[in-house]
Amino acid sequence: MARLRRALRPLGHHWWQRPGESFTLAYATSLSHRLPLLYLIVVFDVVLLSLRFAGSAPLLHVLLGPTLGIYAVARGCYWLPARVARRPIEDQRLDIERMRRLGAISALLFVAWALSLYPYGDVSQRAMIHYLLAVTMFSGILGLAHSPQTALGIAAVFTIPSTLYFLAVGHPNVVYVSLVQLVVTAIVLMVTHGHHRDFVRLELSRQKLVRRERRAARLASAHYRQATVDSLTGGMNRRAILACLQAEMESAAKSRPWLALADLDGFKHVNDTYGHSAGDHVLRSVSDRIGEARGVIAHGRLGGDEFAILFDGALDARAVGAAARRLSAAIREPIGHNNATLRLCASIGLHRVRGESVSGSLERADAALYKAKTRGDGAIVLFGPDDEITLQHRIAITRQFNDCALDERLMLLYQPIHDLRDNRVIGVEAFARWSPDGVNWQAPGTFMAIAEATGRTGELTRLVLARALEEFRPWENGLDLSINLSPRDVHRDGVVEAITSIVHKAGASPSSIILEVTERALMDDPKRATIQLQAFRDQGFRIALDDFGAGWSSLSQLRDLPLDMIKLDRALAAALSDDPGARAVAGMIVALAWQLGIGCTIEGIESAAQVEAARSLGINLMQGYHFGRPEPAGIALIGLDRAVA
Ligand code: C2E
Ligand code: CA
Ligand code: CA
């Protein structure tokens, strides 16, 4: 075989079939489309020759032909495309291998039979043998481009025995016949070789294309996974669960699903106390528990410790409430992690998805979740008709706030700050009021969250400062002006420059301005907040920590922050006169502030008793309805003149 390979190399290297599964499949398919036709030609030849020699040659001799024909029919049927396609690939490979031998042997039998009839024929019958042998051979060689070795075998089997036979019987034209046969066979073989080469190239490029397509499909599926799977829990991510919600809403099903938003209470505590791996473990466990809960058709993590859950739309309000309670109980079950037992609960907001958009549904479930959060202890709240009215009102106000020229819809109220030591006003704090229509004025409780949501807090702060400087003119009356910063102002880039520039433009000095920040503003990123506050101080501003003593005030942070003033929260002021605990807390804060050289103001003072209680703790700076309510500029300034006088 190796020798034959070497001998054929100068004539091209596509005489051998390619190995491999893909090629086996391609060869078998191509051959199955050609071999039955080739066998049909053989059957046709055999029938013609038998008919032509019936009567001339012995009957038994002639009948050998139809026997060969029956064999050819059987082989032709064996290679029918549908039957080949059903065979396992290994059988196909064996068939292709066997074909080289079987093809040559079958051809040899046919040639031998045809030549054996030669002596019985007259000139025209012999010519027919020549003709049929040539036609069969050439069609065999040309038809076997997908098995070039079989084609070679057929060429050899047809040419060599017939040439030898014609030599032996002394055929008058043997030289010419053999020469023609040799040349034409060689040419036809080269054509077949070319066909096989083209076939191989085509198949190789097809295989390459398939590989490329597979790789692209693998990549696409990896991208899809990346884009839709939450890498932490292995469940759906925000995008996927929202797409799922969208699909549910668009589905033909009559009952719309329930959308629940679940937010873990105490997750931050787990993360801070036990570390992030515990936090991750909790998120995975909660995700698993949601997935196992009854009535849940899909769920995914929206981000952080918030999950979106779709409950079956076939459930009614009572059933979904029960399902949510079961889920809540499952989440409450202790979660073990590294010998620690972690306990959390989830607040759940539920909403029956109706005709709204995905964001509309989310907004409603979120409103219910917000309510559940304020109730605490893992409450479950169903978004109801009242909530819809509140939501519509909020949407309307948000739109009005978003669309208004803030400058035209803003008013400031000023409240005096008293120094009890010499009973005089030392400054004012400015409070913003916003009006959707220029008639009704809203307190910050209504619009500050909207200002944050619409990204207009920076603009609001700048307008309030500019307006307060213009109306109050601290440089003329020698009083301090206190301005409230929103949490975002503390972190926003460029805010120090913007505020300093407004103050300078107004002709005021930063030293007359106190910027009030809340603890909430510092909690998210204390490091950055500290840097920013120090930058304000470097410009000459003073910084006050607002609402101190409300909620989770931390005394230790007072040491680390660049502060000039602490403002004790009005809840503390309200409790001072009759709550010894509140008095003790306030006393501690005052003592610490004094040690650190930080001033102390108390706000929300409403009665003489509170004034006395605060004074007994050593607080001299006070603010509250007892001294004066927040008033518009005109009234506040007249009041001040009197107070100062
Ligand atoms: P805050 O800075 O703690 O302001 C004190 C709030 O208590 C003000 O409510 C004030 O009107 C009210 N108040 C003053 N004295 C008393 C009193 O004796 N008793 C009671 N019960 N309340 C008193 P307001 O104006 O509704 O402001 C609420 C909060 O909105 C403020 O709390 C402040 O954090 C924020 N805010 C107000 N104006 C602005 C502003 O221009 N920008 C920013 N970012 N926030 C502002
Ligand atoms: Ca304040
Ligand atoms: Ca305050």
pLDDT at residue 88 in the model: 93
What ligand has the least distance to the C-alpha of 567? Answer: 3
The whole-number mean pLDDT for each consecutive block of 10 residues of the chain, a chain of 645 residues, reads: 66 81 91 93 93 90 91 94 93 91 90 91 89 90 88 89 83 79 88 91 91 90 85 92 90 80 92 91 96 94 95 93 96 92 94 89 94 92 94 89 93 96 94 92 92 92 96 89 94 94 95 94 85 96 92 74 94 89 90 92 95 95 95 80 51
Q: Is the pTM of this model over 0.75?
A: no
Q: What's the 548 CA to ligand 1 centre distance in angstroms?
A: 13
Protein residue with least CA distance to atom 13, ligand 1: 604
- Beta-carbon-side half-sphere exposure of residue 336 (alpha carbons within 13 Å): 2
Q: Is 628 in the pocket of ligand 1 (CB under 6 A)?
A: no
Q: Is 604 in the pocket of ligand 1 (CB under 6 A)?
A: yes
Q: What's the 53 CA to ligand 2 centre distance in angstroms?
A: 121
Q: Which amino acid is at 144?
A: L
By three-state DSSP, how is residue 301 classified? strand
The closest alpha carbon to 184, from 140, 146, 147, 134, belongs to 134
Q: What's the 444 CA to ligand 3 centre distance in angstroms?
A: 12
pLDDT at residue 645 in the model: 44
DSSP code string of 439-466: SS-B-HHHHHHHHHHTT-HHHHHHHHHH
pLDDT at residue 174 in the model: 75
Q: What are the structural domains, with CATH classification, of the chain?
A: 2-211 (no CATH), 238-383 (3.30.70.270), 405-644 (3.20.20.450)
Ion ligand 2: residue ranges with CB closer than 5 A = 484, 516, 546
Protein residue with least CA distance to atom 28, ligand 1: 444
What ligand has the least distance to the C-alpha of 468? Answer: 1
Which two tokens mark 643?
A: 């107070």
**Ligand 1 pocket: which of 401, 411, 484 to mutate (most atoms within 8 A of CB):** 484
Buried b (16+ CB within 10 A) or exposed e, 497-536: eebbebbeebebebebbbbbbbbebbeeeeeebbebbeeb
Protein residue with least CA distance to atom 26, ligand 1: 443
**Ligand 1 pocket: which of 431, 553, 603 to mutate (most atoms within 8 A of CB):** 431
Q: What's the 567 CA to ligand 2 centre distance in angstroms?
A: 8
Q: Is 546 in the pocket of ligand 1 (CB under 6 A)?
A: yes
What ligand has the least distance to the C-alpha of 544? Answer: 2
pLDDT at residue 644 in the model: 47
Q: What's the 522 CA to ligand 3 centre distance in angstroms?
A: 15
Residue position matching structure tokens 């390619």: 18
pLDDT at residue 549 in the model: 83
Cα–Cα distances in angstroms (integers) from residue 314 to residues 100, 330, 364, 576, in the given order: 67, 22, 20, 55
Between CA 429 and CA 545 the distance in angstroms is: 13
Q: Is 444 in the pocket of ligand 1 (CB under 6 A)?
A: yes
Q: Is 431 in the pocket of ligand 1 (CB under 6 A)?
A: yes
Radius of gyration in angstroms for the set of CA atoms belonging to the chain, rounded to a whole number: 47
